[in-house]
Chains A and B, each alone.
Chain A
Amino acid sequence: MIKSKTRVLFRLGDKIFPKFTLICSLIVVAVLVNILIILFIQAWPAIKESGFSFLVGRSWDPVKNAYGALPAVYGTLLSSILALVIAIPISMGAAIFLTEIAPSWLRSIASFIIEILAAIPSVIVGLWGLFVLVPVVRNPIESWLGTHLGALPFFQGPPFGFGFMAAAIILAIMIIPIITSLGRDVLKSVPGAQREAMLALGATRWEMISRAVLPYGRSGLIGAIMLGLARALGETMAVTMVIGNGYRITASLFSPGTTVASKLASDFSESSGLSLNSLIELALILFIITLSVNVIARLLIWRLTSVKGKAD
């Protein structure tokens, strides 16, 4: 037998240590799976009681024990999609600027400044929204829209300031840095040869961007947008502080509304019994929605990177 200089202890480590890291990894997987299971169990009384009417019901009435999620789901989707409408052009422009247009000294400092925005806690963005943004939304934004475009259903009713409009703007502000930095990474991964090929054909810089760079990175950019959407759907504090907490479904963006997350934030600690179970069912719905959006986004981004890997 060949004599070993290494101590038994170290050889044992080679058996134990990888197992130990595996256990830690499994904890992460278990937490994720358990979130789904525990939420489902806790929501079960509400699911049994309300059934399908929970998804289509329009009122939230603990006195009558009638719970409908539709206004919260509607508010979540409306505010997030509006936020995307605002954020996409700005963050795509910013991502393109950061990779294709800005001089190199400006790139890293500008990226850094935009990334700081992503690091500001949601509650502080909400505080700023509450005292700075909401008054501006009330007047001039909403009053102007009301007078000039008041015929449209979106811009009817008194300008509160608090409402879908303010929520959408604040959400847009919060997802701009996310979409920008993910989009920038995607554009960076487009090979230089793609750009040069297009320029060599006599393309202008914009033609190069729009015909070579953006098509190449398309699925990754869509993934970045989806991740921004996922973030907007689950965002809680800032939205809760500016959306005005009205439990209704209306086309008017001036109207106060609710999102699933803001409903949880404002009602959860005061609830018990069936209304608590119903809130947990709301949380379950939010979890499933964001999970699906996240999965789709990850798959899109992964597809891009694996295609890139093959090309190299």
Chain B
Amino acid sequence: MDTTKQTETTGSRSFSGNKGYILKAENLRAFYGAFLAVKDVNLDIKPKSITAIIGPSGCGKSTLIRCFNRMHEVTHGARISGKVLLDGEDIYTPGIDPVSIRTRIGMVFQKPNPFPTMSVLENVVAGRRLTSVLSKRTEMEEIAEKFLRQAALWDEVKDKLKQSGASLSGGQQQRLCIARALAVEPEVILMDEPCSALDPIATLKIEDLMRGLAKDYTIVIVTHNMQQAGRVSDMTAFMMMGDDRAGGLIEFGRTDQIFTNPKDKRTEDYITGRFG
């Protein structure tokens, strides 16, 4: 109960501070069967910003962002209640096609998952090609180049476009997955611990890339690496599991504020490392 109240107050406070938002969660709850995994989240995300979601593992970070592009319901028995507004419109309104939502809100996963049966080039255009009727070969190449450049990968793979996507290094694969997500031209990109499977140098490249992308895209990144959240994000949301094992939003605010002057004792404990 306590958690819920806290969430609502912090939620509305940050909302009043920032009028414009592109993505907004209202009283969002996520279930796996009967199990309540995420409880009463209220959160709004400004366009062209980077929002980090931090918190101990198992607190529902992945579950929460998977609700944002309706990937949550792909899991058997998973469902939600509450609302997720994209440009003011609830993406869970009956009759709305989850597939079309996912072309507007892209996703990058924890483990790089390029399609191994497709070449680098085919990987980039995969989403485009498979969501619309076949387009021309030359057009494909143009598109691939454009988004590989955006993902800061072009120089490294321009001679390897015909090779399998699985033949690249881990960091390159992850940037390939980012290029693949960008090529669908989404408005929001969700990233679920995109660097946790990568070495520090590859991590740094992805972080640079994210800062650049934030000029054109809205990014929501889940990370359990607080330094990373501090380095890349404008806003930070801290989540934690309550006594009922359901994860809830504890505090949400500007990243510098969360890290230097947290309002909630639990946030402070977590970021100062005094946590479990």
Contacts and interface: CB of A to CB of B under 8 A. Distances in A.
In the complex, A touching B, CB below 8 Å?
yes
A10 B129 CA distance: 12
B133 A6 contact: no
Contact of A6 (B86, B96, B97): B97
B101 A2 contact: yes
Interface in B92-111: 96-97, 99-101, 103-104
Contact of B131 (A1, A2, A10, A14): A10
A63 B97 CA distance: 71
Nearest to B103: A5
Contacts of A6: 97, 99-100, 103, 131-132
Given A2-B86, A2-B89, A2-B91, A7 B100 contact: no
A203 to B, nearest CB: 41
A104 interface: no
Nearest to A4: B100
Contact of A5 (B86, B89, B96, B131): B131
A11 interface: yes
A18 to B, nearest CB: 14
A2 B188 CA distance: 15
B100 A5 contact: yes
Given A2-B86, A2-B91, A9 B100 contact: no
B97 A5 contact: no
A5 B101 contact: no
Contacts of A2: 86, 89, 91, 96, 100-101, 104
A11 to B, nearest CB: 6
Contacts of B96: 1-2
B95 to A, nearest CB: 8
A7 B91 CA distance: 19
A64 to B, nearest CB: 63
Classify the interface of chain B: helix, strand, loop or mixed: mixed
Nearest to B86: A2
Interface in B70-104: 86, 89, 91, 96-97, 99-101, 103-104
A48 interface: no
Interface string B102-124: 01100000000000000000000
Which bracket fits the contact residues of A?
10 to 19
A3 B133 contact: no
Contacts of B132: 5-7
Contacts of B104: 2, 5
Contacts of A3: 100
B89 A7 contact: no
A11 B91 contact: no
A4 to B, nearest CB: 4
Interface in A86-123: none
Contacts of B184: 5
B186 to A, nearest CB: 10
Given A2-B104, A6-B103, A11 B97 contact: yes
Contacts of A14: 99
Nearest to A3: B100
Nearest to B185: A5
Nearest to A14: B99
Nearest to A11: B97
B131 A9 contact: no
A4 B97 contact: yes
A4 B184 CA distance: 12
Interface centre among A2, A9, A11, A14 (most CB of B within 10 A): A2
A14 to B, nearest CB: 8
Nearest to B184: A5
B103 A9 contact: no
Nearest to B91: A2
A2 B102 CA distance: 12
A6 B103 CA distance: 8
A13 to B, nearest CB: 10
A5 B127 CA distance: 11
Interface in B169-202: 184
Interface string B205-240: 000000000000000000000000000000000000
Contacts of B101: 2
A11 B132 CA distance: 11
Contacts of B91: 2
B133 A7 contact: yes
Nearest to A5: B103
Contacts of A5: 100, 103-104, 131-132, 184
Interface in A1-49: 1-7, 9-11, 14
A11 B101 CA distance: 13
A5 to B, nearest CB: 5
Interface of B: 86, 89, 91, 96-97, 99-101, 103-104, 131-133, 184
Given A2-B86, A2-B101, 17 more contacts: A1-B96, A2-B89, A2-B91, A2-B96, A2-B100, A2-B104, A4-B99, A4-B103, A5-B131, A5-B132, A5-B184, A6-B100, A6-B131, A7-B132, A7-B133, A9-B133, A10-B99
7 contacts: A2-B91, A2-B100, A3-B100, A5-B184, A6-B99, A9-B133, A11-B99
